[in-house]
Amino acid sequence: MNLLKINWLNFALYDSFTGVPVSQPNIYLEKASILFNIGALYTQIGTRCNRQTKSGLEEAVNMFQKAAGVLTYLKETFTYTPSYDMSPAMLGALIKMLLAEAHECHFEQTILSGVQNEFCTLAKVAQEAAKVSEIHLHVYNAMNQAPIKENMPYSWSVMVQVKAEHYKALAHYFVAIVLIEHQLGPHDDEDKQEKALSQLYDHIPEGLTAMNILKDKQQRTQLGKAHLSKALACHEEALRLSSLCSQLKQIDVLQDILAAFHKRALLKFTQHQKEDDFMSKAEFKAEIILPPLSRVKVIDLFQRLGPLSVFSAKQRWTAPRKVCLTLEDGDLGFVLKGDCPVQITSLDPLCPAAGVGVKEGDYIVAVEDRDCKWCSINEVMDMLRGIGEEGREIKVTSIQDQTSSMHNKSATYSAGMQKTYSLVCLDMHDDKIAKTQKATKKLSFLSWGFRNQQKASSTLCLPTASAGKPDSSKLFLSPYNTLASDSAMY
């Protein structure tokens, strides 16, 4: 087919990260898409290799390296891509991530058959773990670049951080085992161990050499404990980072592996932690002092108010009033019931107690200035026994009626209007006694209307001082004969 005719065809693809479709009449876009998919296919094969066997790990390393090679070729030859996933910055981050996976598989291949408890072997394993951690750290830095960070999956970025901290912890752990458990013996190869130890550190402080560390047992042990402490910190950081991502928290295998390695490092650190360490030589040791809550008796601040089940904010109570109880034919004229507090019931309206202000349902709160809100009925009866001719003073309180607490008249003010009372007004009778009456409701007192293009108010006007005594028959104005008045009531 003629290449010129092919270029008239539209080749479409979807970005693997953003999902944005891209279409161009360019055969090179189709070629680039095929190469990208080949690299993705190599990656899928590498992830599905059996990493429990040596051959499977070798195959995984080979697949990840091939995938990195395909993406590298694509990055160098196809520079004018319209899709984000094939941009040079994204391809560079993906290449680093694939190489990091290859290094991780190589490390797993190194420790697959077990790690020999030998100085040089442990040092080599520590170096490999440090290399894997360093490569994953570079991958994380590449993912955090401005053009990549917005579209890179969050779980990928966190997983790379977790791996960097995990393998750093393994490196410190194996170095600690080398320093603590493998003391230099008379038959050991000093030059070989010195070379292996020197390769573990980028630099050694002045005045200190690798051979001095190997021969000084105390210094070697302290340095090993420092590496164990660093391993614990890295394991804890890996656990913390994995808990920040909801997707990683759901991977039970990952959480179990991180917890197992942290537990191993903690156990090793505990075994080598002795009482003669530097930090434990202080004379003072801080201890936890628990508050003596069980030995301290306190009184509730609101106990004086009485039982909460009765004296609560749900009810409104009158102020305690003093009354003097006297006997009539040896009887007080009422019955007590209840406990804490005691209530007055079955009150005889003709008894002396009713005459001095005791009401049905009153609660006795004090007897002779002695508080009895928390007293039982037997205790209150004992206090009331033996009343003489002079009587006995008690304090009672009662529940206020919610409706009675409302004001029987409410004044309203409005610009340009007289002072008025709504719905309830005073009725003047011939005997000069003011009594409260409710106005007859003609229409809804919440409604406002217009009659003859004038606004009417749902209030009644009070008589002014100069008007004199109003006629009681005309006090309630009819809404039918005063439509033109601003004070007409609906």
- Asked whether residue 368 carries a pLDDT value surpassing 80, the answer given is yes
pLDDT at 44: 94
Q: Judge if 146 and 223 occupy the same domain.
A: yes
Q: Judge if 41 and 15 occupy the same domain.
A: yes
Q: Judge if 344 and 430 occupy the same domain.
A: no
Binned at pLDDT 50, 70 and 90, residue 299 comes out as confident
Query: Could you tell me the residue range of the domain that residue 323 belongs to?
Result: 303-397
- Asked whether residue 438 carries a pLDDT value surpassing 80, the answer given is no
Answer whether residue 277 is part of any domain.
no
Answer whether residue 115 is part of any domain.
yes
- Asked whether residue 287 carries a pLDDT value surpassing 90, the answer given is no
- Asked whether residue 241 carries a pLDDT value surpassing 70, the answer given is yes
84-110: pLDDT as tens digits: 788 888 889 999 999 999 999 999 998
As a whole number, the mean pLDDT across the chain is 76
pLDDT at 149: 84
> Across residues 271-278, what is the average pLDDT?
63
pLDDT exceeding 90 applies to what percent of the chain? 26
Q: Judge if 167 and 308 occupy the same domain.
A: no
pLDDT exceeding 70 applies to what percent of the chain? 77
Where does a domain end: 350, 370, 397? 397
159-177: pLDDT as tens digits: 999 999 999 999 999 999 8
Q: Judge if 445 and 360 occupy the same domain.
A: no
pLDDT at 329: 80
pLDDT at 315: 80
> Across residues 331-351, what is the average pLDDT?
86
CATH code, domain carrying 339: 2.30.42.10
CATH code, domain carrying 150: 1.25.40.280
pLDDT at 478: 42
Q: Mean pLDDT lowest for which of 72-86, 269-283, 371-385?
A: 269-283
Domains in the chain: how many in total? 3
Q: pTM for this one?
A: 0.53
Answer whether residue 218 is part of any domain.
yes
Q: Judge if 147 and 206 occupy the same domain.
A: yes
- Asked whether residue 262 carries a pLDDT value surpassing 80, the answer given is yes
pLDDT at 132: 94
If one compares 163 and 275, the residue with the highest pLDDT of the two is: 163
Where does a domain end: 271, 294, 321? 271
> Across residues 219-239, what is the average pLDDT?
90
> Across residues 256-283, what is the average pLDDT?
78
Q: Judge if 207 and 317 occupy the same domain.
A: no
Token digits of residue 190:
């000093």
Q: Mean pLDDT lowest for which of 7-21, 278-292, 462-476?
A: 462-476
- Pick from 429, 322, 346, 337: nearest CA to 377: 337
Q: Judge if 44 and 153 occupy the same domain.
A: yes
Q: Judge if 97 and 56 occupy the same domain.
A: yes
pLDDT at 130: 92
pLDDT at 436: 39
Binned at pLDDT 50, 70 and 90, residue 8 comes out as low
Q: Judge if 127 and 263 occupy the same domain.
A: yes
- Asked whether residue 26 carries a pLDDT value surpassing 50, the answer given is yes
- Asked whether residue 12 carries a pLDDT value surpassing 90, the answer given is no
> Across residues 110-124, what is the average pLDDT?
86
Q: Judge if 365 and 459 occupy the same domain.
A: no
Q: Judge if 223 and 366 occupy the same domain.
A: no
pLDDT at 412: 42
Answer whether residue 283 is part of any domain.
no
Answer whether residue 15 is part of any domain.
yes
Answer whether residue 328 is part of any domain.
yes
Answer whether residue 35 is part of any domain.
yes
- Asked whether residue 435 carries a pLDDT value surpassing 90, the answer given is no
pLDDT at 119: 83
Q: At what angle do helices 27-47 and 54-77 cross, to 10 degrees?
A: 160
Binned at pLDDT 50, 70 and 90, residue 456 comes out as very low
Highest mean pLDDT among 24-28, 322-326, 454-458: 322-326
Answer whether residue 403 is part of any domain.
no
Where does a domain end: 342, 365, 397? 397
pLDDT at 414: 40
Binned at pLDDT 50, 70 and 90, residue 488 comes out as very low
> Across residues 280-300, what is the average pLDDT?
73
